[in-house]
Amino acid sequence: MFAHRHRELGELLCHRGLVTKRRWDEARKAAGGDRSAADLLDATGELPRARLLAAVAAELGRALVDAPVRRLEPALAALLPAAVARQHGVVPWRREAQHLEVLLLDPFAGGELGELEFALGHTVRGCVADPAVVEALLREHYGEGAGALAAALVAAPEGLAAAEPAGRELAAQAAELPVVRYVDDVLEQAIRERASDIHFEPFEHECRVRCRIDGALREWPAPPAHLALPVTSRLKVLANLDIAERRVPQDGRIQFEVAGRPVDLRVSTLPTQCGESVVLRVLDSERSAAIALDGLGLGEGLLAELRGVIRRPSGIVVVTGPTGSGKTSTLYACLRELNEAGAKLLTIEDPVEYELEGVTQVAVNPVAGLTFAAALRAFLRQDPDIVMVGEIRDLETAQVAIQAALTGHLVLTTLHTNDAAGAVTRLTDLGVEPYLVAASLEAVVAQRLVRCICADCRCEQAADPETLARLTLPGRSLTGLRFYGGAGCPVCRGTGYRGRMGLFELLRVDEAMRELIARGAGTQELRDLALARGMETLRGRGLAAIAARATTPEEVLKYA
């Protein structure tokens, strides 16, 4: 905090008796690097951030904004040109009749607002706020990405969007420069921020834009409601969809280039009462290509077990978990591990998300009759060694997959279940005979993705009794376990989290397990046997991640 203002801040705090000069000098020496002495004193509890900011505001005679918003309204953000906001390090906070209140990134330099007042043509008042929050707002609304276009869109003429424009008019609106620039910059900024999905959601009085980053949706600068249709049309033009058809869902793809590398975007439109909702799934092949089996975070023991399982000559290996839990990434990592010159690998997917060199990949096409089951039957005539089925959704696909496993092929696939043991009962619920499941199933991997604590603002935090009670496993004590979380900083955009990690449990099917499966045992009975054989649960893996200061109790309770 105010890392470049050591002298001014130190003198202020010492003058007000909040810290001694000796302690300040010690903190400066201990902090080092980009971390300030103020951050260190805040982390140790000697000088909380709120008290420091209050002292700065009082000393400088400025108003203190202790809880600024995390996202500005487009009309408010449009009051400052991006270049001006970045140059002066200010963010508009509130517009009054006679003046504009702005949050100052550096309140010590706030006396230099004369140039800003001249540029805007009216009085500007500077306010003190947490620099981390101000910097995050600057990056979001006035950085090189989507936020910088809020002003251009607000200024766009309302006549740009007609009530019910025809196809040619829609195409013309979609080609307007403000719309083109806004869409391009939203996509680029979202990809740079490692978003997995981008949502454009129309409502009666607004068009909401959100990006899923590290599994959580974040608000993005949105266009005015009257530009929702042109923005949607622009996305449909890029995806080669019919812009005049707004009554039925459509699917397409966009190839977008960021920093010289192509990124595929899978586009889905859905008609709603207020317009078309558009969701783009980001398929970053470069990022995916970097995922190897030993980079999933399985841990040495689990990694060795899984490697042993997928090296078996035949059988079914199932990866299970909810949508967005990383199942496809795990399957791709397994395929890369097995992709050798002496093996033939075939996949059937819906759709093909990433291209794997040396692997024959097929996308389902139900309209043409190419379903999972139909493709899998054809695969068996292609002399494969290893087959990946994107998902087992019905009895027919399950039966053909089991037939492939029983005739000497290794089959990798996914199911949607809550845990590893649940995959067995899911297969029998589809109608597969228990004895066939017992004969073909080799292992089930259940997984979840939890957010990682931001390394730049990690600090120790106390867990409330209710959380502790929910987190505790039977027979295990949390005594002595220290809990950590993220305080929020510009690096993590104030969320306290950055990146995600996997939690895994691996159920191995041995002879005792096969006997239980063959006689139709339930999920709990299978789970109890697996635990007796040493299986570590998702919750147990989550506790280990908490102990390693990697994630928070809230994340583990949410997903495991």
pLDDT given for residue 549 in this prediction: 93
- Decide if pLDDT at 176 tops 60: yes
Q: What is the pLDDT of residue 120?
A: 72
Has residue 512 got a pLDDT over 50? yes
Q: Return left, alpha or beta for 274; rule: phi > 0 is left, psi -120 to 50 is alpha, else beta.
A: alpha
423: pLDDT confidence band, cut at 50, 70 and 90? very high
Q: What is the pLDDT of residue 164?
A: 53
Residue 61 clears pLDDT 50, i.e. is over it? yes
E-strand ranges in 405-486 read 410-415, 441-453, 458-460, 484-486
Say whether pLDDT at 271 is over 90: yes
Q: What is the pLDDT of residue 443?
A: 96
pLDDT at res. 160: 54
Going by pLDDT thresholds of 50, 70 and 90, the confidence category of residue 100 is: confident
pLDDT of residue 110: 60
Confidence of residue 6 (pLDDT cuts 50, 70, 90): low
Residue 357: Cβ within 10 Å count:
7
Question: What pLDDT sits at residue 3?
Answer: 54
Q: Does position 169 have pLDDT exceeding 90, yes or no?
A: no
What's the confidence (pLDDT) of residue 167?
60
pLDDT value at position 414?
95
Lowest-confidence range among 117-131, 292-306, 321-335? Answer: 117-131
pLDDT, greater one: 19 or 313: 313
- Residues 213-232: tens digit of each pLDDT: 888 888 887 777 777 888 99
Q: Range with the lowest mean pLDDT among 52-66, 267-281, 387-401?
A: 52-66
- Distance in angstroms (rounded) separating the CA atoms of residues 74 and 296: 39
Could you tell me what percent of the chain has a pLDDT over 90? Answer: 38
User: Cα separation of 376 and 60, whole Å?
Assistant: 72
Higher pLDDT, 234 or 2: 234
Average pLDDT, whole number, for the chain?
A: 84
- The residue with greater pLDDT, 502 or 222, is 502
Looking at residue 354, its pLDDT comes to 81
Helix segments in 125-268, DSSP class H: 131-142, 150-155, 167-174, 177-192, 228-238
**Residue 391 reports pLDDT greater than 50:** yes
The model's pTM is 0.68
Q: What is the mean pLDDT of residues 25-52?
A: 76
Residue 287 has pLDDT above 80, yes or no: no
Confidence of residue 28 (pLDDT cuts 50, 70, 90): confident
Looking at per-residue pLDDT, the higher value among 224 and 156 belongs to 224
Confidence check: pLDDT of 147 > 50: no
- 371-380: long-range contacts, CB 8 A cutoff, minimum separation 24: 371/396, 371/397, 372/348, 372/397, 373/397, 373/399, 373/400, 375/348, 376/348, 376/400, 376/401, 376/404, 379/346, 379/348, 379/404, 380/404, 380/407, 380/409
* Residue 221: per-residue pLDDT: 74
CB 60 within 8 A of CB 113: no
Cβ contacts of residue 392 below 8 Å, gap of 6+? Answer: 318, 372, 398, 401, 413, 414, 415, 427, 430
Lowest mean pLDDT among 61-75, 183-197, 272-286: 61-75
Task: Give the pLDDT confidence score for residue 146 in this predicted structure.
Answer: 42
What is the Cα–Cα distance from 254 to 247, expressed in whole angstroms? 21
Instruction: Give the mean model confidence (pLDDT) for residues 185-208.
Output: 87
Query: Would you state the pLDDT for residue 412?
Result: 96
Predicted local distance difference test score (pLDDT) of residue 289: 55
Please state, in angstroms and rounded to a whole number, the distance separating the CA atoms of residues 55 and 53: 5
Q: How confident is the model at residue 162 (pLDDT cuts 50, 70, 90)?
A: very low
Across the range 384-406, mean pLDDT stands at 93
The lowest-confidence range among 45-49, 424-428, 484-488, 511-515 is: 45-49
Encode pLDDT of 325-344 as tens digits.
Answer: 889 889 999 999 998 767 89
- Give the C-alpha distances (Å, rounded to integers) separating 510 from 21, 144, 441, 515, 519: 67, 55, 10, 9, 15
Could you give the 3-state DSSP secondary structure of residue 199? strand
Lowest mean pLDDT among 35-49, 175-189, 345-359: 35-49
